[in-house]
Amino acid sequence: MDNKAIPTSQQFLDTNQYSHRSILRYERIFGHTWVSTGGETTTKDFLIKLGLRPGQQVLDVGCGTGGSAFFMARYYGVYVHGIDLSSNMINLAQERLAREDVNVSDKVQFQVADITKVQFDTASFDIIYSRDTVLHIADKEGLYKTLYRWLKPGGTLFVTDYCRGDRKHSQEFLDYVKQRGYDLRTVREYEQVLQEAGYTQVEAVDLTKTFISILTTELMYFEPTREAFIKDYSEEEYNEIVDGWKRKVIRCTAGDQAWGMFLAIK
């Protein structure tokens, strides 16, 4: 494992977008143990597509603070190995795991790891699941070939990810992508990456309109909590979240940003 590569990216995440304080702030809009679009609601909707069965092995890539892993273990009886590059995310996930009952705690484990460096045996997982994480990774081609190898024959890959729209992009969007260190593809480009990595039955769906609806709903529930949020954090941090969500809506409405869902089989 390249020990020099991990700390650099890890330090960037842990001291910027995913500092301990920032994660807890995000959970105030996503929901407790959730740091992904739509929180538990979208997770419920997406998991219906996967046909999870008790005893299956799931790799949760970019597991965050554990929401998806806990949900899959509790309601589907699967075993989940959650990995995340952010040590702050994993520390919080471990704290929550320690408070779960044995039916969940025996089925879930978390690991601080760089998905581009970590090693798993060939055909280790029935499902590989990732929510809005691969946007941080430039070598998507190499990553999806590796994930393909880790899947069992007939296994399922499920991913949602930030994408870019099919248009000439605004400078504001380009600056946003650069500042976050994202690598974004169009939904169709993403589909081609998966096909070329060897997956079959690739389903690539542009869910940007759904994304806008989710963002709008999250704001609708979050904005009335302003007073309590500011008491725990600050007005500046409250405004940062609200402004961030509104800017995402603007970028998506303008066609700069997109949100894709990808389902594929080995």
DSSP characters over 230-263: HHHS-HHHHHHHHHHHHHHHHHHHHTSEEEEEEE
d(CA 171, CA 131): 26
Residue 212 banded pLDDT, cuts 50, 70, 90: very high
Reported pTM: 0.93
Residue 11 banded pLDDT, cuts 50, 70, 90: low
Does pLDDT of 4 surpass 50? no
Residue 133 banded pLDDT, cuts 50, 70, 90: very high
- Domains in the chain, please, with CATH? 5-217+244-265 (3.40.50.150)
Q: What is the pLDDT of residue 86?
A: 93
Element (H, E) at 121: none
- Cα distances from 29 to residues 79, 80, 214, in angstroms, run 28, 25, 11
Among candidates 266, 18, 25, which has minimal Cα distance to 136? 18
Q: What is the pLDDT of residue 27?
A: 96
Give mean pLDDT, residues 221-250. 97
Q: What is the pLDDT of residue 5?
A: 41
What angle in degrees, to the nearest 10, is found between the helix axes of 235-254 and 208-222?
160
Give mean pLDDT, residues 45-54. 97
Strand, coil or helix: 70: helix
Q: List the helix and strand counts (H, then E) for the chain.
A: 12, 7
d(CA 159, CA 149): 16
Residue 18 banded pLDDT, cuts 50, 70, 90: confident
Give mean pLDDT, residues 234-239. 97
**Average predicted confidence (pLDDT) for the chain:** 93
Q: Which pLDDT tens digit goes with each residue over 134-164?
A: 999 999 999 999 999 999 999 999 999 999 9
d(CA 140, CA 134): 7
Does pLDDT of 258 surpass 60? yes
Q: What is the pLDDT of residue 6?
A: 44
Residue 14 banded pLDDT, cuts 50, 70, 90: low
Looking at the DSSP bridge assignments, the partners of residue 159 are 130, 262
Does pLDDT of 54 surpass 80? yes
Q: What is the pLDDT of residue 21?
A: 92
Does pLDDT of 10 surpass 70? no
Does pLDDT of 7 surpass 60? no
Residue 31 banded pLDDT, cuts 50, 70, 90: very high
Q: What is the pLDDT of residue 1?
A: 33
